[in-house]
Structure 1
Amino acid sequence: MNTAANSTKTDALISVDGLILDKHTGEIHGHDGKLSPWSGRYDYMLELGKCRSVDDFQYHLGFVDRRKLPAHELHTLRDEVDHAFGKWRRTGIDCRITLPQQRLLEKLHGLVLYRNVIIMIQADLAVSLCTVESNLMKKLRVLIDANMLRVSTSRNSNIRTGEIKLVVNPRMVFRGDDYRRRKYIEEWYRPVGCLHTGVFHPGNADECLAMVA
């Protein structure tokens, strides 16, 4: 008699989303130990273009296996320097990358952890670039004016106060595969309206990243 009752009770139990329930009464009898979409916490990658702080950037990097990225070397930057010098010699168009620009790009190259983005505390960046915080923007201006760098801070964007976001021209510095680099370069020089206007979109750091992310 007891055996039959136990069998009937067992037949009434079902498993739903990791819980063992009585299908007649809805009573919860425990957990079945199986994975459930409702158990635990699920994290989602924040888009690179939406990172607004050092914490956001570190959270994004938590989803990236940087061990699988290509070697991060200076060959690309030095090739661009040589190419610009050669173009100047051939055509007379002065598109050279000056030595101060090259030295600064090399320092930024060492700070890039992923793609062409740097997000740091401004004071820390100033130390890394061997300057003081009050002189930081002046030091970066040599690259900004040459369309080699785009900068966002709390003054011109919604970056956290005291922090700074740098996006380097991907022709010069990029940590990622060649396909993704080409896409970033295309977006960096994205034309306004007609493809043949000859006017290039100045854009901003977040626009560029959002389009290619």
Structure 2
Amino acid sequence: MVKPRDRQRTGGGDAVDSYDKSILDLERLRRYANRVSAESKSPPSPKIVRQVSKSIPSTETRRCGFLGLRTELVKVTKSIQVNETVIGPHWILHHTTHRIESHDRGKFVEFGEQNYWALQNDGSLLMIWDWEEFTRWDNGMTRFEKECTAKLMAEKDILRLDFADKRYDHSLSGNGTKFWGNREPGRRIRHAKGVGLSVALKGLLP
């Protein structure tokens, strides 16, 4: 899904690497994504929702006046929990993970991050960032936080699929921290920009 320029050859006849000279054709990729979302026979994953706090105007009755014998309506703002759609029905094209564990100064922290390249059923190309963090202190207190958001796939996200996932596993001495996963890009595995995404989309077609 690219517009590669003409390949040049050296005097020895070897092809010059054309990847950096290729042009990422975003419009063509978007058209292809729309076609795949319409023609795929694979059932999509269900939509993802999250709960968020929302402030809404409201009124309440309060007592006022001498001995509280009189009432009046006052305007207030209330906070309620509502469901918010992060992404509609979708297909996962690729995903990476990154995890951290640390134990230092009376605190244990476990963090997990998942990044998903996704095709929504309306043809949109989206990135999903899903993370959670658990903290436990030596006094027994704990805290758990999580978040899931989605945004339109940027050019750097598309180009990331032209590279293999680089697996890593590191333990750092001294502060009890270790991290592992495959979030970082490794060697390039596609000959032109955008081919990785194109191949992932093609995998959804019959």
Normalising by the smaller structure, the TM-score range is under 0.3
More strand per residue: 1 or 2?
Answer: 2
Normalized per residue, the structure richer in helix is 1
TM-score, normalising length: structure 2: 0.23
State the TM-score, normalizing by the size of structure 1. 0.22
Give the structure with higher Rg (CA): 1
- Greater length-normalized contact order (CA 8 Å, ≥ 6 residues apart): 2
